[in-house]
Amino acid sequence: MIKRKRRIETFSFFDHTGICKHLEKMAVKGWMIERLTNFGWIYRRIEPKNIKFEISYYPKASEFDPEPSDDQKTFHEFCAHTGWKLACTCAQLQIFYNELENPIPIETEPTLEVQTIHASAKKSFIPAYILLLILSVLQCFFLVSGLLGDPIDTLSNTAKLFSTVCFFILLIICTVELCCYFSWYGKAKRRQSKVSFINRQAHLFYRKLSLLL
């Protein structure tokens, strides 16, 4: 019997509601999240059961931290006090699970939760995606200027064409991710309440398409 499995998931880093629902479904099927890596998510086999998952963002954490800081461990202790056990972390994202039937949520002040998510986004997600966006725009700009200056040379260079296609896909991914994030953030801030991250169906389709490309 397979004890561990790796799956490529199409979730945005900040799709906390979608990730939780997915992990709850996986637990019912007997798979518990163990680790989030750049090459897929790793699950371990467990007894199938209903478990509640919650995602909390810890803005001070970084993916370069060798281990959680003392402050972060204090945060984990607070969560453990209400039955939330840490499943795994990935930079600022922390996945907790709770086996109680009606646990007290980790975040009970939606306004504060939105602030925390945005603080985490400002630290890693937004600057990284903006940088990638600038790089892809530059690459596309170089291709267009090449086409205008010397079209034969540009179109005969397969390496240049291939890299431009890759950067063009990256441009679309970054634009959609940033737009989705800011649209969610604006909506959550206006409503002063916890709202689902994004339109799941449309976003899932886009994520699968970009993965395929």
Partner 1 sequence: MPRAKFQTLTEQMFYILLCLKDECYGLDILDKVPSMTAGRVNVGSGTLYNLLEQFLDAQIIRETKVEGRRRTYILTEKGKDMLKKEYERINAQVTDYKNIFEKEEIV
Q: Cα–Cα distance between 106 and 54 in angstroms, integer?
A: 7
Nearer to partner 1, 47 or 77 (CB): 77
Stretch that binds partner 1, among 45-53, 67-75, 153-161, 199-207 (CB under 8 A): 67-75
Our separate counts of H helices and E strands in the chain read: 7, 6
Does 78 participate in binding partner 1 (rule CB under 8 A)?
Answer: yes
- Token pair of 153 as six digits: 């040379």
Half-sphere exposure of 60 (CA within 13 A, CB side): 9
Does 100 participate in binding partner 1 (rule CB under 8 A)?
Answer: no
Number of residues that bind partner 1 (CB under 8 A): 23
Kindly identify the residues of this chain, within the stretch 130-149, that bind partner 1 according to CB under 8 A.
none
- Shortest Å distance, C-beta 152 to partner 1: 57
Nearest Cα neighbor of 93 from 119, 61, 66 is 61
Does 101 participate in binding partner 1 (rule CB under 8 A)?
Answer: no
Does 65 participate in binding partner 1 (rule CB under 8 A)?
Answer: no
What single-letter amino acid sits at 153? D
- Shortest Å distance, C-beta 175 to partner 1: 27
Contacts (Cβ under 8 Å, ≥6 apart) of 48? 27, 28, 29, 30
Kindly identify the residues of this chain, within the stretch 106-125, that bind partner 1 according to CB under 8 A.
106-109, 111-113, 116
Residues forming a β-bridge with 93: 57, 90
Instruction: Find out whether 33 and 41 touch, Cβ atoms under 8 Å.
Output: yes
Does 193 participate in binding partner 1 (rule CB under 8 A)?
Answer: no
Which spans of this chain sit near partner 1 (rule: CB under 8 A)?
A: 56, 70, 73-75, 77-79, 81-82, 84, 104-109, 111-113, 116, 189, 192
